[in-house]
């Protein structure tokens, strides 16, 4: 079997460690178990059976108390079903003979019950089928739940492997337990990918049949920048990988040395470099003094971490804490952007055929205005703590902005009437991520204080390519000439209107893109914190006239391939500048001699 596999790179970095396959969603994960781990897997099954049996006993007691002894009898029957030696030995032999994990073996048993009973007719047979399979479903739940608890309590660091890159997968463990992430599905600009980058861990997606090729606990190396994974590396391969890692670490060291300085070109043009933040804990992962503010705080991710909607008071405290972490610098809070691929577990949205074109972002919050009012109140109350700004997602029409302004004015008046201190002019901006907003830009700029381009969505809508679909991942192209033209139009419109324009989509995290955006005339960019040092380093070594010439050059290209040629040149030039710095350290003695 080929031990080297390739996928789509999502987040750079090099990591090596043991794999932990996780299940988040409906599919039950299947992986092969090495012969020496079979007793371990049977042990996992036994403890899940015990936990399920305890849970059933507890249910029995509760129902006996709240209903009747008779109603509670079913749980006693379920416990007896779990003691059936036939079923038990079927699961055990699936583990040891087929060498599959306990979850997959239990799932096979449940399927067998369903197939056997499904062939028979009648309600009572169907009831019986669910009676025999329900307790085993509980065992399955126990296995999956325990899995997370076990890793959490072991405190071990692992390489997470899953079928899809969802926000839930990324947040499955605490970030300091995650060495890297790899998945079968997912796109480079999906929200799971956005989170992986904000975690700063290497991540590779779009690897077909990944889970079938892994074993729990298998040693791997992950190169997030190149999208390469090595299964069971040999001693030689591992040594080579560690050498690469040492070079990457020394490069990072060089870049970090200047990260406290502003992103200013040698001829004096400044590019604001702000950060995208997904959680209050993110502030502990980077040097807050080295950035120009928060350009995008995705408030929905604060909501995603919870099991219920945060109250106004909780939101207020959260926003205040965030604003206080950035004294004297802007903190841009984006209004809740749920829907699409960001469902909230406690806010059921209907299943849609085209979720990206459906009920998401401002479309939800304008309809559920209570939700919006609570968030607005919390934001406006937190505003006196610093330079708080508000950003509107998925703006498609001027009417939406008008509606928001009205709601803000009402909320403000209400707060002031109740004695709150709310600043007069909290700045409000619009995300430019829907093509209609692009075309209506001069009008939109009349209505807002600033705009920020969400290229993750803008690219998907301009090119008609789903950002979450790995089948069309190769067509998702942030450097498509049409996208570059759109970006130039936004920069020019902003300059004409005298309003600040920024890019907060993930493409801005690439230093070559940052140079182009500077050349186009953007005032600032907002990126995952891990990219700040590299971008500053690049900007500090590029004259603004050169950046302008590069922007003109890419805008002249007819094809994406030609654009990439220019980008490759910018990157090579930048790499050369970094390695120039590496040389004195290595060659210091020879030069002196
Ligand atoms: C974007 O669309 O580029 C963006 C920044 O927002 P999100 O990725 O959360 O949709
Ligand atoms: Mg978006």
Give the highest mean pLDDT range of 45-49, 212-216, 328-332. 328-332
Residue with tokens 């890793």: 151
* 189, 505, 506, 528: residue to mutate for ligand 1 pocket, most atoms within 8 A of CB: 505
Task: Look at residue 114 in the predicted model and tell me its pLDDT.
Answer: 74
Is residue 591 very low, low, confident or very high in pLDDT (cuts 50, 70, 90)?
very low
- Residue of 511, 520, 490, 528 whose CA lies nearest to 567: 511
Q: What is the CA(576)–ligand 1 centre distance, in A?
A: 32
Task: Look at residue 346 in the predicted model and tell me its pLDDT.
Answer: 72
Q: Which residues share a beta bridge with 390?
A: 333, 428
Task: Look at residue 590 in the predicted model and tell me its pLDDT.
Answer: 37
Q: Which residues share a beta bridge with 274?
A: 526
E strands, 121-163, where?
A: 158-162
What's the rounded mean pLDDT across residues 198-225? Answer: 91
* 393, 432, 486: residue to mutate for ligand 1 pocket, most atoms within 8 A of CB: 393
d(CA 246, CA 248): 5
Please give the structure tokens belonging to residue 89: 């030995």
- Is 105 within 8 Å of 94 (Cβ atoms)? yes
Ligand 1 atom at minimum distance from 454 CA: 3
End-to-end CA distance of the chain: 51
Domain boundaries, the chain: 257-579
Ligand 1 atom at minimum distance from 191 CA: 8
**Residue 456 CA: which ligand is closest?**
1
- Is 556 within 8 Å of 532 (Cβ atoms)? no
What's the rounded mean pLDDT across residues 231-246? Answer: 96
d(CA 178, CA 161): 10
- Residue of 484, 301, 478, 294 whose CA lies nearest to 389: 294
d(CA 65, CA 67): 6
Q: Whose CA is nearest to atom 1 of ligand 1?
A: 454
d(CA 120, CA 199): 51
Query: Is the model's pLDDT at 589 over the cut of 60?
Result: no
% of the chain surpassing 70 pLDDT:
94
**Which one from 23, 191, 480, 546 is the annotated catalytic residue?**
191
**Residue 455 CA: which ligand is closest?**
1
d(CA 578, CA 561): 26
Residue 191 a catalytic site member: yes
Task: Look at residue 118 in the predicted model and tell me its pLDDT.
Answer: 58
Using one digit for the tens of pLDDT, what is the confidence trace for 139-162?
988 887 777 777 777 778 999 999
Query: DSSP string covering 321-363, please?
Result: HHHHTSTTSEEEEEP---BTTB-BTTB-----SSGGGSS-THH
Q: What is the CA(393)–ligand 2 centre distance, in A?
A: 7
**Between 3.40.190.10, 1.10.10.60, 3.20.20.60, 3.30.420.40, what CATH number should domain 257-579 receive?**
3.20.20.60
Using one digit for the tens of pLDDT, what is the confidence trace for 404-451?
999 999 999 999 999 999 998 899 999 999 999 999 999 999 999 999
pLDDT, the chain, mean: 90
**Which one from 23, 203, 504, 546 is the annotated catalytic residue?**
504
* 186, 190, 334, 431: residue to mutate for ligand 1 pocket, most atoms within 8 A of CB: 431
- Ligand 1 cavity residues, CB under 6 Å: 194, 296, 298, 337, 433, 454-457, 504-505
Q: With helix as H, strand as E and coil as C, how does 35-89 read?
A: HHHHHHHHHHHHHHHHHHHHHHHHHHHHHHHHCCHHHHHHHHHHHHHHCCHHHHH
The Cβ of residue 160 has, within 10 Å, a number of other Cβ atoms equal to: 25
Ligand 1 atom at minimum distance from 455 CA: 3
Residues 6+ apart with CB under 8 A from 147: 22, 23
Please give the structure tokens belonging to residue 387: 């330079």
What's the rounded mean pLDDT across residues 215-238? Answer: 95
Is residue 259 very low, low, confident or very high in pLDDT (cuts 50, 70, 90)?
very high
In the chain, how long is the greatest CA-to-CA distance?
A: 94
The Cβ of residue 80 has, within 10 Å, a number of other Cβ atoms equal to: 12
Residue 504 a catalytic site member: yes
Tell me which H or E stretch contains 139.
Answer: helix 123-154
């Amino acid at each position: 079997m080929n031990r080297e596999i390739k996928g789509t790179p999502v987040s750079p970095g090099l990591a090596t460690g043991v794999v932990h396959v996780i299940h988040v969603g409906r599919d039950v994960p299947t992986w092969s178990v090495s012969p020496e781990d079979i007793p371990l897997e049977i042990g996992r099954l036994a403890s899940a059976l015990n936990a399920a049996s305890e849970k059933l006993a507890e249910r029995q007691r509760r129902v006996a108390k709240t209903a009747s002894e008779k109603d509670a009898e079913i749980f006693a029957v379920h416990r007896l079903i779990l003691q059936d030696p036939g079923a038990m030995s079927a699961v055990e032999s699936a583990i040891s003979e087929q060498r599959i994990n306990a979850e997959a073996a239990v799932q096979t048993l449940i399927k067998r019950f369903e197939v056997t009973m499904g062939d028979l007719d009648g309600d009572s047979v169907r009831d019986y089928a669910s009676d025999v399979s329900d307790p085993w479903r509980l065992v399955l739940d126990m296995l999956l739940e325990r899995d997370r608890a076990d890793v959490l309590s072991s405190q071990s660091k692992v390489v997470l492997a899953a079928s899809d890159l969802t926000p839930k997968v990324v947040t499955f463990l605490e970030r300091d337990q995650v060495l890297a992430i790899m998945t079968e599905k997912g796109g480079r600009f999906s929200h799971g990918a956005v989170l992986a980058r904000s975690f700063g861990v290497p991540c590779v997606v779009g690897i077909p049949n990944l889970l079938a090729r892994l074993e729990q606990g298998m040693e791997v190396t992950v190169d997030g920048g190149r999208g390469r994974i090595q299964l069971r590396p040999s001693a030689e391969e591992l040594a080579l990988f560690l050498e690469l890692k040492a070079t990457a670490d020394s490069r990072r060291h060089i870049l970090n040395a200047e990260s406290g300085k502003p992103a200013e070109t040698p001829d004096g043009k400044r590019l604001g470099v702000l950060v995208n933040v997904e959680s209050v804990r993110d502030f502990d992962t980077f040097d807050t003094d080295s950035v120009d503010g928060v350009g995008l705080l995705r408030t929905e991710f604060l909501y995603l971490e919870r099991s219920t909607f945060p109250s106004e008071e909780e939101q207020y405290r959260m926003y205040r804490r965030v604003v206080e972490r950035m004294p004297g610098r802007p903190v841009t809070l984006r209004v809740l952007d749920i829907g699409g691929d960001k469902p909230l577990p406690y806010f059921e949205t209907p299943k849609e055929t085209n979720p990206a074109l459906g009920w998401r972002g401002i479309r939800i919050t304008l309809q559920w205005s209570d939700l919006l009012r609570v968030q607005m109140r919390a934001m406006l109350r937190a505003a006196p703590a610093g330079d708080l700004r508000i950003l509107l997602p998925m703006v498609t029409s001027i009417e939406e902005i008008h509606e928001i302004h009205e709601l803000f004015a009402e909320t403000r008046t209400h707060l002031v009437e109740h004695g709150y201190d709310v600043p007069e002019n909290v700045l409000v901006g619009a995300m430019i991520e829907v093509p209609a907003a692009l075309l209506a830009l001069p009008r939109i700029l009349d209505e807002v204080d600033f705009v920020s381009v969400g290229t993750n969505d803008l690219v998907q809508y301009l090119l008609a390519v789903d950002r979450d679909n790995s089948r069309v991942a190769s067509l998702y192209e942030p450097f498509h000439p049409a996208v570059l033209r759109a970006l130039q139009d936004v920069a020019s419109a902003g300059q004409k209107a005298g309003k600040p324009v920024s890019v907060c989509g993930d493409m801005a995290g690439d230093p070559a893109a940052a140079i182009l955006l500077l050349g186009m005339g953007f005032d600032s960019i907002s990126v995952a914190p891990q990219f700040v040092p590299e971008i500053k380093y690049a900007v500090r070594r590029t004259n603004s006239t050169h950046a302008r010439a590069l922007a003109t050059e890419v805008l002249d290209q007819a094809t994406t391939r030609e654009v990439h040629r220019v980008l490759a040149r910018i990157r090579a030039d930048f790499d050369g500048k970094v390695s120039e710095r590496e040389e004195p350290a290595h060659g210091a003695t020879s030069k002196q001699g």
